[in-house]
Amino acid sequence: MRVLIQRVLRASVRVDNKVAGSIGQGYLLLVGVEKGDGATQVEQAVAKLIKLRLFEDDNGKTNLNLLQVRGQALVVSQFTLAASLKRGNRPSFDAAAPPQLAEALYLDLVQGLKNQGVVVETGRFGADMKVELVNDGPATYTLEIPSDDNTV
């Protein structure tokens, strides 16, 4: 599982020219689910996302986590995070999980964050989405949770 974390002042996602989700300060999370991912990867991702200290304290140090700043999360599925650009000139999506599994794990991640007290908004899985954000910093991080399946 790969999660691209963007610390934002605000972010929104549109589907069919209508706002599907919108947040203030927090994380825009772009989530790519890979073959071999399961409940373990979701649990590890949620635990890490809650504990990461990516927000500045009064001294300008990144010492505060999402809950401490009362931040929100906009979670958007993005299967292209599973793409490989190693060979040729077109991306290979061989590592991406099948849509049914990917959607279930994406929804589990959303619910896991909600269960931790995070206010969560989402895009719509599988839809053509338009994402707008104001990246704070800019600060962008990649979280990779290896799958249990070492063949991918």
Q: What is the pTM of this model?
A: 0.94
- The helix (H) or strand (E) run that includes residue 112 is helix 99-115
Please, which pLDDT band fits residue 149 given cuts at 50, 70 and 90?
low
| Radius of gyration, alpha carbons of the chain | 15
Please, which pLDDT band fits residue 16 given cuts at 50, 70 and 90?
very high
C-alpha to C-alpha distance for 103 and 124, rounded to whole angstroms: 10
Q: What residues are annotated to the active site? A: 78-80
Q: For residues 13 and 123, is the Cβ–Cβ distance under 8 A?
A: yes
List the domain boundaries for the chain.
2-144
Q: In CATH, what class is 2-144?
A: alpha beta
C-alpha to C-alpha distance for 57 and 68, rounded to whole angstroms: 10
